[in-house]
Every structure is written in structure tokens, then in C-alpha cells.
Amino acid sequence: MMRLHNLKPRPGAKHRRKRLGQGESSGHGKTSGRGGKGQTARSGSSIRIGFEGGQMPLIRRIPKRGFNNANFHINRIPVNLAALDGFDAGARVDMAALFAAGFANGKSDGIKILGTGKLTKKLTVVAHGFSASARKAIEALGGTCEVIAPKPSAAAKP
């Protein structure tokens, strides 16, 4: 029978630490696993990732081409219809209510309602976007979908 007093770690889970500098026959003597001389052999040495000893690093040598959409990506938090079913019938479900209920969290550019799950109550839902199936399901029960207009981007200004 397994009891607390006869528990022990799995074989191979525990091993002795590597004792460096304990003589040549230990296999970790002389340079103690640090190789030869130089910057990395010294104590306190740390070289940042990508550093090539002063040579122009590879990441800076290769050409940077193309478009990266990350700067222009709109991050919407997805909320499913099944989550909206937790609200009372006739309630106004907006961004603040979703955050308070814990159905949405984190930084975002808004909320998008998706059609996964079943909605059984009439709700007024205010969000930045709706999938076609979610809009259809909400309006089929007599609820309304209010779309929050996006903020004008800095690029759109003259």
C-alpha cells in the first residue's frame, strides 16, 4: 500500500550536481567545462543573444523586406453566444458587463460576438463586431445587435 512514508522520487529524477574543478580525472577539471580562454571563460560573463564578437550580426546583415501586418492588426476578444446566455433576459450586454462577468479580459480593440452555442434569452448586445450566425441568433429571439463604431485610425487623418 502506498503511504506518505514510503514515497520516493522516480528513478533518474534525482542526481548529484556536477562538481566542477575537482581534478583532471573527474572529467570536469582544468577549464571546468568552460572551454579555452576568452570572454566566456571568465566569471560573470554573459553575451547577449545574437552577438557575434563585434562582427555585424546575421539578423542585421540579411535584408528586411515585405509588409508586417502586426502594426495594423485589430485584436478583438471573441465571446460566444453560450456565454451571453448567462445574462438575465432583457439585459443590456456591453463591454463593461462582459468584463465584469469574466467572459472577456485582457487588452483588446473591442469584442466580437461569435455564434457558437445556443442563446435562449432576448438580449440587447453592444459590441464591436458580430458574426453573421450570432447576429441571426440574437435577432431571431427578438434581441438587438448594436455595433460600436471603430475609432478613426491615425493613418486615416489628412
Domain assignment of residue 123, yes or no = yes
In this structure, are residues 91 and 97 in contact, taking their beta carbons and an 8 Å threshold? Answer: yes
Domain assignment of residue 64, yes or no = no
Domain assignment of residue 24, yes or no = no
Confidence of residue 66 (pLDDT cuts 50, 70, 90): confident
Domain assignment of residue 115, yes or no = yes
Total domain count, the chain = 1
CA 107 to CA 75: how far, in whole Å? 8
Domain assignment of residue 95, yes or no = yes
Domain assignment of residue 23, yes or no = no
Mean pLDDT of 70-89: 91
pLDDT tens digits, one per residue of 122-148:
999 999 999 999 999 999 999 999 999
Host domain of residue 104: 76-150
Domain assignment of residue 9, yes or no = no
pLDDT at 156 over 60: no
Domain assignment of residue 57, yes or no = no
Beta strand segments in 85-156, E? 92-93, 111-114, 124-127, 129-130, 144-147
Domain at 100, CATH number: 3.100.10.10
In this prediction, residue 137 carries a pLDDT of 95
Phi, psi of 156 (to 5 degrees): -80, -15
Confidence of residue 56 (pLDDT cuts 50, 70, 90): very high
pLDDT at 152 over 80: no
Residue 71: what residue type?
A: N
